Amino acid sequence: MSKLDHVREEIARSRLFFGKKRDYNRSRVLWLSVTTASLSALATVAIGTTKMLCLEWLQIVAIVATSVATIIGVWESVFSYRGLWNLNNIAMADLDRFKRQIDYPGNAEE
Whole-angstrom distance, CA of residue 57 vs CA of residue 47: 10
Q: What is the pLDDT along the chain (110 residues), one digit of tens a residue?
A: 799 899 999 999 999 999 999 999 999 999 999 999 999 999 999 999 998 998 989 999 999 999 999 999 888 888 898 899 899 999 999 999 999 999 888 765 55
Give me the pLDDT at residue 107, please.
Answer: 67
Terminal-residue alpha carbon distance, the chain = 29
Question: pTM higher than 0.85 for the full model?
Answer: no
Give me the pLDDT at residue 96, please.
Answer: 95
Task: Name the residue among 66, 68, 32 with its Cα closest to residue 47.
Answer: 66
Is the Cβ–Cβ distance between 45 and 59 less than 8 Å? no
